[in-house]
Structure 1
Amino acid sequence: MTEDAERKMRFLFALRSQGVTDARVLSAMERIDRGAFVTGLFAERAYDDTPLPISCGQTISQPSVVGLMTQALEVTPRDKVLEVGTGSGYQAAVLSLLARRVYTVDRHRRLVREAEARFAALGLANITAIVGDGSRGLPDQAPFDRILVTAAAEDPPGPLLAQLREGGIMIVPVGQSDTVQSLIKVRRGPDGFDYEELRPVRFVPLIEGLGQD
């Protein structure tokens, strides 16, 4: 077995051992090479199940957390998905193999530019990356079937809840930025929202406005 194949096998084993069991999610994460999203000093750790620093003081999430959030989102091939917090673009790339269309928004222009270059290099044509204030969502493109937030808010943001289609699902980390947060699954029903607590997580805080870079 080549070193590359062995590394990929270990990567998928780590995902399964952390509870990522959905075959479509595992297949997408096998096809999207995390190594393409981690550069510089940390490139050799791209396949470790750990978060890593990226530009603009942000992080690329731990692969098992990406897998669990994606699995909880229950994406179908017909869904239009909004991701808040593009970061490296890794999560959006995984979603793009599962959904019809992915819109991803980040407050840092540099991150969006770098992510767009990665999507183009990988031939992922169904992702639209936008520089903007993710806490406000994308009203022009709403409603969304699925919304994934990759930064922690003190409460599920009202503008995002309003942009979730009835029957839709939102996954969002909720809690104070300096303590452990909870990953929350929100379902929009005909009479309002149902909330389910999934697991403790730790994410960078969701910040309003645009970044300086």
Structure 2
Amino acid sequence: MTLPYNRPADTTDAHATARFHMVQQQIRPWVVQDVRVLDALEQVRREDFVPPANYEQAFMDVEIPLGVGEQIMLAPKVDARMANDLAIQPHERVLEIGTGTGYSAALLGRLAKEVLTLEINPELAELARENLQSAGADNVSVRVGDGAKDALAEGPFDVIVLSGSVEVLPESLLNHLKDGGRLGAIVGQEPMMRFTLVKRQGNERITTTPWDTVAPRLSGFARAERFVF
């Protein structure tokens, strides 16, 4: 159920006002209606997770480079729509692949009971830990790891989120879903990728592809088979 969403009372804080406009002008038009997601976007200070060189872009509808390979912060509307469509509940455990600076993990932590996020780059993982600690995200754990290969003794999970794109859905991660669990990933090849939502129901998997976007690759995941003539 969605609820009315109102302008914050404190309009003297320039960042609070910028977040409000980000939500109203960028995110809500992208069919993000879950009031818990909207509240998380207001509570998590995105500007605290943005690299200093890109500080002025904190509330813009753009991807922000992290200075490590092709790794980026997703545009805020993409983070928001993924969280909205995954319908994360307060009792659920979430696995995120691709921590970056920790912003999406902080949002997930506002929605879930517990979040484990894996980051392949040790320097980014340490930065994310610092950011998340400063943000008070005590239910988020950051681990240096390869989400495409590492064993996950903590599973199965209620929700798995890939904060980047893959060419094909990773079967190994699908096996870590609980019954009733959901996996969200951006799947495909440029110029056309789709957010793909997989719901596990017993031995069956129900897959939908509700919207299009494009995002840089996550490292280490399998590539789609290609025909050779």
Which TM-score applies when normalising by structure 2?
0.87
**SS of 2:19 mapped into structure 1:** helix
Cα drift, residue 9 of structure 1: 2.0
Counterparts of residues 151-190 of structure 1 (less than 5 Å) = 151-176=164-189, 178-190=190-202
Residue 33 (str. 1) matches residue 70 (str. 2): no
Cα drift, residue 138 of structure 1: 4.6
Maintained 8 Å contact 2:98/2:119: yes
Maintained 8 Å contact 2:95/2:161: yes
Counterparts of residues 1-213 of structure 1 (less than 5 Å) = 1-2=11-12, 3-14=14-25, 15-57=27-69, 58-136=71-149, 138-176=151-189, 178-208=190-220
Residues 13-22 or 26-35, more deviating:
13-22
Cα drift, residue 105 of structure 1: 0.2
Q: Percent identity?
A: 31
Q: Which amino acid aligns with 2:110?
A: L
Aligned residue pairs total: 208
Maintained 8 Å contact 2:179/2:202: yes
Structure 2, gaps ≥5 residues long: 1-10, 222-229
Cα drift, residue 93 of structure 1: 0.2
Superposed CA deviations along residues 165-198 of structure 1, whole A, max 9, x for unmatched, are: 110000011112x432111000001132111001
Q: Output the CA distance in 2 between the equivalents of 1:148 and 1:138.
A: 16
**Please, what is the CA RMSD of the aligned residues?**
1.4
Q: Output the CA distance in 2 between the equivalents of 1:133 and 1:4.
A: 34
Which TM-score applies when normalising by structure 1?
0.93
Maintained 8 Å contact 2:184/2:197: yes
Q: Output the CA distance in 2 between the equivalents of 1:183 and 1:137.
A: 24
Question: Which of structure 1's runs of 4+ aligned residues deviate more than 3 A?
Answer: none
Cα drift, residue 20 of structure 1: 1.2
Q: Which amino acid aligns with 2:161?
A: L
Cα drift, residue 137 of structure 1: 5.5
Q: Which amino acid aligns with 2:20?
A: M
Cα drift, residue 144 of structure 1: 0.3
Q: Give the number of the structure whose alpha-carbon radius of gyration is greater.
A: 2
Q: Output the CA distance in 1 between the equivalents of 2:218 and 2:20.
A: 33
**SS of 1:11 mapped into structure 2:** helix
Distance change (3 Å), C-alpha of 1:75 and 1:55:
same
**SS of 2:37 mapped into structure 1:** helix
Structure 1, gaps ≥5 residues long: none
Residues 8-17 or 30-39, more deviating:
8-17
